[in-house]
Structure 1
Amino acid sequence: MNTNEGKAAIFDLDGTLLDSMDVWHQVDVDFFRSRNIPLTDDYMGIVNAMRPEEVARYTIKRYGLHDTPEELAKLWDLMVLEAYGNTVEAKPHAVEYLDYLKSSGARLAVATSLSPQVREVGMKHVGIRQYFDEVVSVEDTNAKSKHSPEVYLTAASRLGVAAKNCMVFEDLLVAVKAAKSAGMHVWAMEDDYSLGDRPAIKAMADGVISDFADAPKVL
């Protein structure tokens, strides 16, 4: 496959295209309350960049739970499915921006840690699924995490576009670092759950936005 021509944009979902991070926090609040476990301030910061199975294993180990990682991940999936299918909204002007890029001829992909069921429900709910040529999960890579650039490189390969011609949109510092290490241009979406990392994100990203109305019109 020739990957030297064309332009592409690769998007994270949670906290980037979807204004969804509050959903995960509420799931944590409800889950921890149901187990009578105190939810400490550092927990969200530690698990933010993990995929669900990693979060489950970490939570089980940290709090001495008797669930299996698969059981816990399935429980959380069920808790978030309703929210993603009914209450999650797109980030400001995300739909309009995707429509613009698609009409310009750019190739578009999602790079996410969300489970297939949750991501499909969320994208369909906010009306963006039809814009994407490829949807890539960290599960499709050997790294299985956004600490590695593999998910972005896999997305670029599937799109048939060279890494240097890809623009990545992310909200987490570890993800911004990973995409930059792949030789891609990276724009960061400001999200309240990345507030503590905002100075480092601004220093590393090619640009920072809080609204897709301000996203680059040329990739």
Structure 2
Amino acid sequence: MRPSLAGVGFIFDCDGTLLDTMDAWLSMEDTFASRVGGRIDSSMREALCTMTMPEEAVFLHETFGVGASPAELEAEIDEYFMSYYSERAEMTPGAGALIEEVRRRGIPCAIASSSPHAYLEAGLGRTGLLGAFTSVFSTEDVGASKRERKIYDAAAKSMKAVPELTWCFDDAVYALHAMKKAGFKTVGVYDRDTSGTVDQLRETADTTVLTLEDVDIDELLALQAAHLAASA
């Protein structure tokens, strides 16, 4: 008999987890920095990984002097990415099959992402994933970054799920730390070392996969049930 799904939910990051879009973000950062002779080093890349898009625009403007103002730079970035998500965004390996299986089982799922809401709807719509989600939350929707718990709580509430019964999937170590601190169960999904090495993901998350093709829903629900039994 399968475990009860009462209070259960799945929360997915988008970029680098469901959508293979991180190369586009890294390329954008490099392009704007190089426009004025700058270069993104490893410490900058690590910091940029945690930022919302408005924060990135401020960082690139203040660090390299790109754009007449952060607002002007953000508008230029926005124009590029709306086109990209609408016309070129693709799923990561295993994303389509996993979301279809989650939907088949009746497990509610939501999105929690740092990308602007319009990009999320465009990319998820293009790839056919959008209709599977109870809700789509961007950090701009909740007024807080993924370094804070607010976006995860909002996603869980939208599904009538509770943190200890909710699995969060993310490729970024900093986000996994925030999720765990807020009481959520976590799946580290490897994308690239700049988001988190495999070792870092394994040290942080409750379980880690190299791609979404490796996710075993029955195993996640069994781990969850065992944890609840042990803490009862």
Same fold? TM cut 0.5: yes
Does the Cα contact within 8 Å between 2:171 and 2:188 map onto a contact in 1? yes
Say if 1:196 and 1:104 are closer, same or farther in 2 by CA, change over 3 A.
closer
Q: CA deviation at 1:197?
A: 4.1
What pairs up with 1:172-183 in 2 under 5 angstroms? 172-183=172-183
Q: Is the 8 A contact 2:171 2:196 kept in 1?
A: no
Task: Describe the SS at the equivalent of 1:135.
Answer: strand
Distance change (3 Å), C-alpha of 1:66 and 1:89? closer
SS of equivalent residue, structure 1 residue 191: coil
Task: Specify the SS of the correspondent of 2:17.
Answer: coil
Residue in 2 that maps onto 1:138: 139
What is the distance in 1 between the residues matched to 2:7 and 2:36? 51
RCO (CA 8 Å, sep 6+): is it higher in 1 or 2?
1
1:76 corresponds to which residue? 77
Name 1:198's counterpart in structure 2: 198
Uncovered stretches (5+) of structure 2, i.e. residues with no partner: 222-232
Conserved 8 A contact 1:171-1:194: no
Deviation of 1:39 after TM superposition, in Å, equals: 3.5
Residue number in structure 2 paired with 1:210: 210
Going from structure 1 to structure 2, the CA distance change for 1:118 and 1:18 (only over 3 Å counts) comes to same
CA RMSD after TM alignment: 1.9
Q: Deviations over 1:87-144 (max 9, x none)?
A: 22111110111011111111110001111221111111211101001111212334x1
AA matched with 2:140: E
Match of 1:113?
114
Give distance in 2, aligned partners of 1:197 and 1:148: 22
Distance 1:117 1:176, change over 3 A: same
Deviations 1:58-114 (A, max 9, x none): 222212345332221121121122222232211111011101111111111000111
Matched with 2:34 is 33
| Count of matched residue positions in the alignment of Structure 1 and Structure 2 | 215
After TM superposition, the score normalised by the length of structure 1 is: 0.90
Q: Secondary structure at 1:90's aligned position in 2?
A: coil
* Residue 195 of structure 1, CA deviation: 6.1
